[in-house]
Structure 1
Amino acid sequence: MSVNATSLSSFNANHELYDKARPSFQQDAVKWLIDTAGLHKGSKVVELAVGTGKFTKSIINNGYDLVAVEPSEGMLTSFKKNFPQVEAKIGSSYETGIEDQWADAVIVAQAYHWFADHKSLEELHRITKPGGKLVFIWNIEVLDKLSPSHWQKISTEKVWSYDVNVPQYRHDKWQDSFKNQTWFKMPYQEKILPYQLSYSDEDMWNYWESRSYITALDGPEKAKLKEFIEGVVSKAPKEERDSEGKLVADRGTHVVVATRV
């Protein structure tokens, strides 16, 4: 198995934008993750597909023995700038470079959907101690309470219309990897925690452009989409903004914790 080509090329290209535009992780979600995974000072943790370290910021000061693994050289460049004190190496879910049964926990933030298959689970089982935890966390769009005319719903669904050839969290196919396998116990534990974020109108295009499938668009098509997004957010009424006039977006954090057999 090999790393998804779209993810690798796009994240090599947009790692600086990704680091700037993507949101951090909410403290209540991180606390639930830590408590459920049983992490404590001295825990051996592998963060896989670490990216630029958006999630690492949430755990860097907890006293873990942390190793970062990332398949994209571009992402790893940004990560090392952000966290020069963390051991970081090129690797993937198919070949992490971590020794057998080393990790108390393996954490994958915003990425498992890219490599959700049995070969990945077999490798993650190999590097995790018996009874150790495999943890996934995603920041997600929440649209179910929004009207059809809401700026967030219109812009999100427009961007999603370009998402046709790459695996994504929202397709739910990542869950299929836990079927017919004996490496991790079922059912896993999970929780979705809602929250809201505020954005300036100008921030929204950067947020969407950091998506791999938008980064991969050719220049004219990307410019067309940018014009559409900017037009939608510029028309958002005050009822969809905060007291400072910023756009308010409904978000959620989905955390999954599975126990190694």
Structure 2
Amino acid sequence: MADVVHRINGHVATREWMHQFATDPSGFMTKVVESQDTDNQELVEPARVVEDEDAVQEDETRPDYPFHAFDKLDEVLHLQDRHPSAVYDIVEIGAGQGKLTKALKRVLPGGTRFAAVEPNNDRRTEFRHFMSDVPVFDGTASATTLPNESVGNIAIGHAFHCMAKANALDEFHRILVPNGRLGIMLNTGDFNSCPFMQDVERVVKSFNAAYVPSQPNHDQLQQIFHDRPHLFSPMQSQRIDTVFSASVDGIVDYLMSTCVMANLSHRRQTDVRLSIARLIEMNPDVTEDEHGEHKLELPCLVELHWVQKAQALQDTPAQHHPDDVVMQSC
């Protein structure tokens, strides 16, 4: 198989260089850093804050939702018997560039009325570029700007952390029609399912970084609804195994776009990228397509979680917290 050679920050990562990364990444980087003519401030560059640019990259590199993941979508969303007050059948909250909306549009009838809410102006512009027929509103999870009982279903992808905001569930309850559904649809790499992913975990941990993206488990999602049980029904869930087939660069870009990775310093991101590229080069499952591009299939997991709006909002005061606890998504 031909060598996979990557250019990282303008420098060609040779096979020998990547081999040293894979066998002793931390020790090798110690030698590299000591040989660099750089000042101490650069060497101890702090982890940066994830900016909008990172969120856009993450949206572009994340695995798409496969068709078969939505085989039982009618169990997740309330798609029959449209309520008379519903202006929109499905609204994606925190839509970003609209990856989830695009996936839903592929599998639902043409007459389905979509809309989206996204607070970032640049991402709204990107959304409109890809789906000019879907209105996208400037709003947040706790202030969508949508009318009361105007939404049949709310769909949330990897912006699910917005639900941890104190007022978000009240806002979702307000805009949903009676018996409307709130669906959370996550699509991530299955990081414990194959030796390759375990090797990636080992490499990343060697740089003193947590590997597994901070996705919530079932109990954590349940906890979000725990304090306001009168708003929604108990949560139900489905898990669907799937595969993300992409170029080697695409796989590396996806793994590097996770929140944990994006918060690493620029230098450490380069270190991790080189190590992952080397692991992929050594992977016997890498194939070559008719155009000579190297491909790898990454095991993924689609998680569908949903609740239904309670019939009536009880007069129970909202439990506001002085500091919102936000679960990080990836």
* Alpha carbons 1:41, 1:64 under 8 Å: kept: no
* Alpha carbons 2:252, 2:277 under 8 Å: kept: yes
1:111: Cα distance to partner? 2.0
Cross-structure match for 2:105: 60
1:68: Cα distance to partner? 0.6
1:163: Cα distance to partner? 5.2
The question of 1:260 aligning with 2:301 is answered no
Q: Compute the TM-score of the two structures, normalised by the length of structure 2.
A: 0.66
1:107: Cα distance to partner? 0.5
Give the Cα–Cα distance (whole angstroms) in 2 for the partners of residues 224 and 118 of structure 1.
38
Give the Cα–Cα distance (whole angstroms) in 2 for the partners of residues 49 and 41 of structure 1.
26
1:14-163 matches, within 5 Å, as 14-40=54-80, 44-60=89-105, 62=109, 63-146=111-194, 150-156=195-201, 162=209
Computing the radius of gyration over CA atoms, which structure comes out larger, 1 or 2?
2
1:44: Cα distance to partner? 2.2
1:170: Cα distance to partner? 5.2
Give the Cα–Cα distance (whole angstroms) in 2 for the partners of residues 94 and 159 of structure 1.
35
Task: Please list every run of 5 or more consecutive structure 2 residues that lacks an aligned counterpart in the other structure.
Answer: 1-48, 83-87, 311-330
Give the Cα–Cα distance (whole angstroms) in 2 for the partners of residues 229 and 53 of structure 1.
28
Cross-structure match for 1:169: 216
Percent identity reads 21
Cross-structure match for 2:38: none
User: CA deviation digits over 1:205-234, x for unaligned, max 9?
Assistant: 211232244334332122112112112212
* Alpha carbons 1:113, 1:174 under 8 Å: kept: no
C-alpha spacing 1:115/1:51, structure 2 compared with 1 (3 Å): same
C-alpha spacing 1:143/1:211, structure 2 compared with 1 (3 Å): closer
SS at match of 1:251: strand
SS at match of 1:55: helix
C-alpha spacing 1:242/1:41, structure 2 compared with 1 (3 Å): farther
* Alpha carbons 1:33, 1:257 under 8 Å: kept: no
* Alpha carbons 2:286, 2:296 under 8 Å: kept: yes
* Alpha carbons 2:244, 2:297 under 8 Å: kept: yes
Aligned length: 246
Give the Cα–Cα distance (whole angstroms) in 2 for the partners of residues 157 and 70 of structure 1.
36
The question of 1:10 aligning with 2:57 is answered no
Give the Cα–Cα distance (whole angstroms) in 2 for the partners of residues 70 and 174 of structure 1.
22
SS at match of 1:100: coil
Give the Cα–Cα distance (whole angstroms) in 2 for the partners of residues 35 and 129 of structure 1.
17
User: CA deviation digits over 1:98-144, x for unaligned, max 9?
Assistant: 11111111010122134435521111111111111000100123244
User: Which of 266, 269, 272 is residue 225 of structure 1 equivalent to?
Assistant: 272
Task: Point out the more displaced range, 112-121 or 64-73.
Answer: 112-121
Give the Cα–Cα distance (whole angstroms) in 2 for the partners of residues 210 and 30 of structure 1.
25
User: CA deviation digits over 1:1-27, x for unaligned, max 9?
Assistant: xxxxxxxx7362135533431221121
Q: What is the letter of the counterpart of residue 175 of structure 1?
A: Q
1:243-258 matches, within 5 Å, as 246-258=295-307
Q: Compute the TM-score of the two structures, normalised by the length of structure 1.
A: 0.81
Give the Cα–Cα distance (whole angstroms) in 1 for the partners of residues 191 and 91 of structure 2.
32
* Alpha carbons 1:50, 1:109 under 8 Å: kept: yes
Give the Cα–Cα distance (whole angstroms) in 2 for the partners of residues 123 and 40 of structure 1.
23
Q: What is the letter of the counterpart of residue 231 of structure 1?
A: R
Task: Please list every run of 5 or more consecutive structure 1 residues that lacks an aligned counterpart in the other structure.
Answer: 1-8
SS at match of 1:51: coil
SS at match of 2:167: helix
SS at match of 1:86: coil
